[in-house]
Amino acid sequence: MVPNMNSQNPVTSTSVVKTMARPADKKVSCTAQEQKKKIGVAPVVFLGDVPVSQRQILYNAFLGKLTKSYQLVSRERFEKAQETVFQALDTTQCTEEKCIRRVQEILQIEDIFFLQLIREERDTQITVTRFKNENRIVAVDFCESCNTRKLNSRILGLVEKILVK
């Protein structure tokens, strides 16, 4: 059957052509998300006076940048893995690196990303950290009197810097 190219719905016609052109013996991924490497994103740390709305805008930008390259493990799964690790290890055993490695093992991922904003009066320090296997990659920026747009831009720049390492 040949699709009607004069159809009122060209999207339907296009999808029919694509479906018909696929070899029957090949499994084709439904979404690009399935082909992306899975990563974890730790809860963001905000220290100092950062308004809730600004926190959410910056967090959304951080996640948005990461989802362009990766598939994110759900927040619930990440927090459950963290809780499992915290329950299994006492405070003397749970160094940052050891706990992160255990979370990576539970979730079967190589990378975990962290975002931290520290604000003191008009100054803000932004830190993006990537734990890739056993390596820690840190990018830091400092911004004086930055509004949300500038902070957003700086976060995206730090993520970009860390992704190429």
pTM exceeding the 0.85 threshold for the entire prediction? no
Closest CA to 81 of 128, 41, 45, 127: 41
Q: How confident is the model at residue 15 (pLDDT cuts 50, 70, 90)?
A: very low
CATH code reported for the domain at 33-163: 3.40.50.10610
Q: Which residue has the higher pLDDT, 121 or 5?
A: 121
For residues 155 and 126, is the Cβ–Cβ distance under 8 A? yes
Closest CA to 60 of 79, 83, 47, 41: 41
Write a three-state SS string for 21-34.
HCCCCCCCCCCHHH
Delimit the domains of the chain by residue range: 33-163
The Cα 88–Cα 56 span in angstroms is: 31
User: How many CB atoms are located within 10 Å of the residue 117 CB?
Assistant: 21
pLDDT tens, residue by residue, 107-130 = 999 999 999 999 999 999 999 999
pLDDT tens, residue by residue, 75-103 = 999 999 999 998 888 777 778 888 899 99
For residues 152 and 61, is the Cβ–Cβ distance under 8 A? yes
